[in-house]
Amino acid sequence: MINSTQVLFFTLSAYIHSDVVNYLSFVVILTLYVLIIGCNVVLIVVICVNRSLHEPMYLFLCSLFVNELYGSTGLFPLLLTQVLSDVHTVSAPFCFLQIYCVYTYAHIEFCNLAVMSYDRYLAICHPLQYHSLMTPSKIVKLIALTWLFPLLESVLGIISNVFLQLCGNIIDKVYCDSYSVVKLSCSYVTTSKYVGIAYMLTVILGIILLILFTYVKILKVCFSGSKQTRQKAVSTCTPHLVSVINFSFGFFFDIFQSRFDMSHVPHILRVVLTLYYLTCQPLFNPLLYGLNLSKIRSVSKHFVLGKLNII
């Protein structure tokens, strides 16, 4: 029996051994990473330095873009290193660090999206009381809660993984994953996967239900309100709703493919889909909000052209 203190490294076995595929993958991953860094940094700077964007909606967006940088940094450097390597091994401490980053990134993303939906609910359903309800101190508390709860809550999961007794060190993925480590446990039983699913569904579905509740309220106001109210709701809520659907699809696919037999799905497609919510969402969000929100689009254009007014 091998316990977790004796496992010095993990082997990531999902990589394809083909020079052509590896070099092509490296170029694609590097390009995607550069675009993610560039797009998110530009929008963060634009929101931070332009006072006209110091409104709740844009501050929550800024928090979302920071999380995209955080999640990408937890994933892409390892991918870039491993894709050109002949031996796909990762040290145990680094593997657990990546698990923590990926795990907290997903939780923070859902919390951010929930806070943003709550903000839109107040702005559209209670416009006259909006500024009294969404005060600067409340914005700070919501952003702090969005980050602190996942960061602290995830520590318990990582600690439980670190002290597992492991009977293997091969992870069938291209990055370190919490459930993949749990499956290596000497005491792993089939019911573990259902317990994990129940826990994730309880936490994440609770957040998604909160988002859906706010949108039901928003839709009621839209149908009974003026044309201007409907246009405002569509322009500000559509990007958010698309982002929620996109991230939820990738996240839940990764959960279910990890726990159930997906051998009928081609290997390369499985790899791409498990990486989807970690690679596409960080690029998808800045492009989605940058293109759809006219105020961000206008200020970003001036920033790129060097004409940004910070007053």
- The DSSP H or E segment spanning 12 is strand 9-12
Exposure letters 152-178 (e unless 16+ CB within 10 A, then b): eebeebbeebeebbbeebebebbbbbb
pLDDT of 220 strictly over 70: yes
**Measured distance CA(205)–CA(198) in Å, rounded:** 10
Alpha-carbon distance 105 to 76, whole Å? 13
Q: What is the DSSP letter of 51?
A: G
**Burial of 22 from C-beta contacts in 10 A (0-12 / 13-18 / 19+):** middle
Angle at 212 between CA 211 and CA 215, to 5 degrees: 90
- Asked if the structure places residue 195 within a domain, the reply is yes
pLDDT classification of 231: cutoffs 50, 70, 90: confident
Domain assignment of residue 3, yes or no: no
Confidence of residue 266 (pLDDT cuts 50, 70, 90): confident
Identify whether 107 is part of a domain. Answer: yes
What's the confidence (pLDDT) of residue 3? 44
Paired sense of beta strands 170-171 and 9-12, if any: parallel
Which residues make beta-bridge pairs with 28?
none
Expressed as residue numbers, the domain containing 215 is: 9-304
Residue 207 domain flag: yes
Exposed, middle or buried, 64 (CB in 10 Å: 0-12/13-18/19+)?
buried
- Residue 35 pLDDT: 94
Torsion of CA 245, 269, 9, 99, to 10 degrees: 0
260 against 127, higher pLDDT:
127
Q: What is the mean pLDDT of residues 195-215?
A: 77
- Distance (Å, whole) CA 36 – CA 79: 15
* Cβ(53)–Cβ(47) below 8 Å: yes
CATH number reported for the structural domain that contains residue 17 in this entry: 1.20.1070.10
> Residue 9: beta bridge partners?
91
Number of domains in the chain: 1
The gap between the terminal CA atoms of the chain, to the nearest Å, is: 64
Does 4 fall in a domain? Answer: no
Is it the case that residue 2 has pLDDT exceeding 50? no
188: which DSSP letter?
-
pLDDT(310) > 70: no
Question: What pLDDT does 180 receive?
Answer: 85
For the chain, percent of residues with pLDDT exceeding 90? 30
Task: Report the alpha-carbon distance of residue 186 to residue 163 in Å, rounded.
Answer: 12
* Radius of gyration (C-alpha) of the chain in whole angstroms: 21
Structure tokens at 30: 């590097």
Mean pLDDT of the chain: 83
Which of 190-204, 235-249, 291-305 reaches the highest mean pLDDT? 235-249
Residue 1 lies in a domain: no
Mean pLDDT lowest among 32-46, 108-122, 231-245: 231-245
Q: What is the pLDDT of residues 40-94, one digit of tens each?
A: 998 998 898 888 888 998 999 999 999 999 999 999 999 999 998 888 899 988 9
> For position 196, what pLDDT does the model report?
61
Mean pLDDT of 171-188: 84
Q: What is the pLDDT of residue 191?
A: 53
As a whole number of angstroms, the distance between CA 255 and CA 145 comes to 25
The yes-or-no verdict on residue 103 having pLDDT over 50 is: yes
Query: In this structure, is residue 309 part of a structural domain?
Result: no
Coil vs helix vs strand at 57: helix
Structure tokens at 201: 């569904």
Judge whether 89 lies within some domain.
Answer: yes
